[in-house]
Amino acid sequence: MGARALPAIIRPYRPDDEADVLAVWNAGLVADPINAATWRAKVLLDPNFLPEGCLVAEVAGAARGFLLSITRQVPFYGDGLQPEQAWITAFGVHPDWQGRGLGSALLDAALERLRGLGCKVVTISPYVPNYFTPGVDVNAYRRAVEFLSRRGFEVVSRPLSMRAELTGFRVPEAIAETAERLRREGIEIRLSQPSDILPVLAFIKRHFSWDWYREASEVFRDLFTADPRHVGMLVAVQGDEVLGYAQHRGERFGPFGVDPARRGQGIGRVLLAETLLEMLKKGYHAAWFLWTSDDAARLYATCGFREVRRFAVLRREL
């Protein structure tokens, strides 16, 4: 006879679970290890975190799996509370305990709870501001994608992350020529200054997301009120009109964007290349970002970016 399976208790997260949950995370999510400081900063100190949203599968007195789901408890800028939306941002079972139904039990309990809250859709995992990855890494966690697909989740997009080496970077000749043409047309691409704060934030509010607004605000805060050494922003302007912007924080490039009505003129290519050059001047020898589309990846490739990870964003109606 086989050994009798030990019963699992699915319960909310408790303060003394931290070490066990991190052990599960780092054993099961091997492409995305974290430490306690990251867990506390991005999970426990998130104002949207609720212990009942972080379900733990306890067996024999220890956490063997967990599922972190988020619903907004505080409004996110103009997006508000998004009461019908929920996110699953992390989900794992320790490899030694996989295949025993813990993942299914955690997912069932999480979905039941979210339905009870009135949520209509759950997405894995582009929750802002504290997502870990855009979705599920299709190479590192292929079995997880298959599991979720069997449970009714649909892949709705396949974003990629990219990286570029900056050692020896030079603005490509074709982009330098585009920059000169733009100058002749009265389009200036330059480092941001304090007078850009209001027009750039208004530009982002019109054309892009509230998360981009948040990130730009934080870069402006560091640039002009705190420590500017590790951040930067370039803007594209024509007279008093903002046409686009690009930013970085350390080696992380972006977000950056161009007015949809002015795309196709080369403004984005120049913003990209000039921002990378400014990063190199600060001593950064690589640039990376977590999330873009295949269409945008072709632009990034002109400055040496290459794909390093591919994700599946999954969604399910409740």
List the CATH number of the domain containing 23.
Answer: 3.40.630.30
* Closest to 246 measured CA to CA, from 227, 266, 273: 273
In a domain, 269, yes or no: yes
| Phi and psi at residue 46, to the nearest 5° | -70, 125
User: How far is 98 from 166, CA to CA, in rounded Å?
Assistant: 41
Coil vs helix vs strand at 9: strand
User: How far is 222 from 230, CA to CA, in rounded Å?
Assistant: 9
Q: Are residues 197 and 262 in the same domain?
A: yes
Q: Are residues 179 and 115 in the same domain?
A: no
Q: Are residues 178 and 233 in the same domain?
A: yes
Q: Are residues 75 and 176 in the same domain?
A: no
Q: Are residues 99 and 178 in the same domain?
A: no
Q: How many domains does the chain have?
A: 2
In a domain, 101, yes or no: yes
Residue 210: which domain range? 168-284
Helix H or strand E segment including 90: strand 85-93
Going by pLDDT thresholds of 50, 70 and 90, the confidence category of residue 5 is: low
Domain boundary among 112, 132, 152: 132
User: How far is 201 from 197, CA to CA, in rounded Å?
Assistant: 6
Going by pLDDT thresholds of 50, 70 and 90, the confidence category of residue 59 is: very high
In a domain, 147, yes or no: no
Mean pLDDT of 118-133: 96
* Closest to 200 measured CA to CA, from 157, 154, 237: 237
Q: Are residues 181 and 116 in the same domain?
A: no
Q: Are residues 128 and 199 in the same domain?
A: no
In a domain, 300, yes or no: no
The pLDDT score that the predictor gives to residue 3 is: 41
The pLDDT score that the predictor gives to residue 121 is: 98
User: Are the C-beta atoms of residues 220 and 233 closer than 8 Å to each other?
Assistant: yes
For 207-254, how does the pLDDT look when each residue is reduced to its tens digit (9 = 90+)?
A: 999 999 999 999 999 999 999 999 999 999 999 999 999 999 999 999
Intra-chain end-to-end CA distance of the chain, in Å: 39
The pLDDT score that the predictor gives to residue 7 is: 84
In a domain, 297, yes or no: no
Record the tokens describing residue 278, joined without a space. 């400014």
User: How far is 316 from 17, CA to CA, in rounded Å?
Assistant: 28
Q: How far is CA 231 from each of CA 62, 202, 225, 248, rounded to the nearest angstrom?
A: 42, 20, 12, 6
In a domain, 257, yes or no: yes
Q: Are residues 100 and 195 in the same domain?
A: no
Going by pLDDT thresholds of 50, 70 and 90, the confidence category of residue 2 is: very low
Q: Are residues 173 and 280 in the same domain?
A: yes
User: Are the C-beta atoms of residues 259 and 247 closer than 8 Å to each other?
Assistant: no
pTM for this model (two decimals): 0.93
User: How far is 201 from 208, CA to CA, in rounded Å?
Assistant: 10
Q: Are residues 67 and 176 in the same domain?
A: no
β-strand pairing of 121-124 with 85-93: parallel
User: How far is 37 from 236, CA to CA, in rounded Å?
Assistant: 37
Q: Are residues 128 and 176 in the same domain?
A: no
Domain boundary among 109, 132, 155: 132
Alpha helices in the chain (DSSP H): 18-28, 36-39, 102-116, 142-150, 173-184, 197-207, 210-225, 267-281, 294-301
Q: How far is CA 153 from each of CA 85, 120, 125, 156, rounded to the nearest angstrom?
A: 15, 13, 12, 9
In a domain, 309, yes or no: no
For 13-49, how does the pLDDT look when each residue is reduced to its tens digit (9 = 90+)?
A: 999 999 999 999 999 999 999 999 999 999 999 999 9
In a domain, 20, yes or no: yes
Domain boundary among 70, 105, 132: 132
Q: Are residues 128 and 13 in the same domain?
A: yes
**Opening angle at CA 135, ends 129 and 141, nearest 5:** 140
